[in-house]
Structure 1
């Protein structure tokens, strides 16, 4: 397997790295969404690759507990990037990394370390992970623009997924949150983001409005109550993430297996697959 780590030769990175980023960006097609079952380690990444998915996406809320930390940038950045690097080395697919709000790294260092970890893309969110307070939209746009400029200046390609947290930490009515998500998302696209991720947006009408008004690809989090994958495609969604949902389901299943063992039963009973 060829490496996707940056190899600067004459001002350009390796064709493998650039090709992976280009392939990742090209898969953001409205109506034919890129489906991302988010992973938490090399084993889960290899399982996603073996299942035939074209891209690997990490989830900070899934990786953090695996490493012994809470989500919300509680994981030391060195450990999070090491986890991303292990995942990248284990597969031959493009990897997009959930980097919360950048773990306090300056844009140039963030880009450098993401590329060194083998990432072709990243998620960056617009609320403070520790205080859960929304960041000023212009401040976030400037940050995203600086990340894009740093990547361009380094001669690397990086697919930026700009998470918008108005449905998570915003205030106001549903209509006001929608309007603010559109306002922020448009600004982030102007600043250099490739895709906008209004996390927790789930109602079909709101998703359709986001798609129609944003002016760029939309990422929706798939969770209970979200329209089906087919419906999301019909609504024009370009990317679907699963966040830490799969990891939570695996942990719940493991807990049921352990309870069965403790009670003297079989951990392989078909009944344990039931929710």
Structure 2
């Protein structure tokens, strides 16, 4: 994609986060789903690692290489006229500068990066390590001249037996990510917990991302809780799968 177009899309993605409270970015996985979501009127999209992997017969949690992911997302990004952010999991073992170079070369306007390091047995980065990685992404994007939107994810709630017991640690991590240059933060696994969502949205100044199911969750609820950004993770693809099964059921031989 033309460099100027990539820069324009990245800038637009930043503007959209300021214009919408919250900004809803449907999580897509191929050209069809991206075109469908864009045609439905959404001004920006995300590509999720889990649905992308499922669509390609690969495993989530870095079952694809970075190069394979770039090759897969390139035609998706090119198929629509709206900014597209790409889930880059924990970075596929690459340095931040490599991620930014590859992402911007295929036209990506933003990225998601998590702290569970799948290439190293699923260990979780420390707060400082994850903040340093995000700071490296921010610096690389600045050096490239592309205002890539960095959505910094933490899996601490997801890994905890008792999510409320790690709230203070999560808030410390989110604030460190914000200081490191994250444009938004993403504490996964609490989309159904009003108390935890309100606690994290009140603890940071940047938008907080929440996962949402397109049929089971309510946008107004997320708005009331202060959520600034909504994506679907694998839930939109799962909802589509359920709908297709229901439609096909009566036609079984």
Same fold (TM over 0.5): yes
Match of 2:82 among 65, 70, 93: 93
Give matches, 1:130-209, under 5 Å: 131-170=121-160, 173-202=162-191, 203-209=193-199
Q: Equivalents in 2 of 1:162, 1:138: separation in Å?
A: 13
Q: Retained in 1: the 8 A contact 2:171–2:200?
A: yes
- Give the aligned partner of residue 8 of structure 2: 19
8 Å CA contact 2:213–2:236 kept in 1: the answer is no
Q: CA deviation at 1:257?
A: 4.8
Larger radius of gyration: 1
Note if 1:67 corresponds to 2:56: yes
Q: Specify the alignment match of 2:227 in structure 1.
A: 237
Kept in 1, the 8 Å contact 2:214–2:236? The answer is no
**SS of equivalent to 2:230:** strand
Q: Deviations over 1:89-124 (max 9, x none)?
A: 100000100110111121111111000111000000
**1:78 is the counterpart of 2:52:** no
Change (3 A) 1:165 1:225: farther
CA distance in 1, matches of 2:246, 2:225: 37
Distance verdict in 2 for CA 1:224–1:132, change over 3 Å: farther
RMSD: 2.0
**Match among 200, 211, 220 for residue 221 of structure 1:** 211
Given the alignment of the two structures, is residue 111 of structure 1 paired with residue 109 of structure 2, yes or no?
Answer: no
Q: Is the 8 A contact 1:204 1:227 kept in 2?
A: no
Q: Distance in 2 between matches of 1:201 and 1:231?
A: 13
TM score, norm. by length of structure 1: 0.85
Cα pair distance change 1:226/1:136, threshold 3 Å? farther
How far is 1:254 from its partner?
3.5
Q: CA deviation at 1:177?
A: 2.0
CA deviations on 1:61-106 (whole Å, 9 max, x unpaired) are 0000111111000012222111211111100000100110111121
State the shift of 1:227 in Å.
Answer: 5.4
What's the CA shift for 1:250? 2.2
Report if the CA contact (8 A) 2:214-2:239 is conserved.
no
Gaps of at least 5 residues in structure 1 are 7-13, 264-275
C-alpha contact 1:39 1:247 (8 A) present in aligned 2: yes
Q: Distance in 2 between matches of 1:83 and 1:34?
A: 25
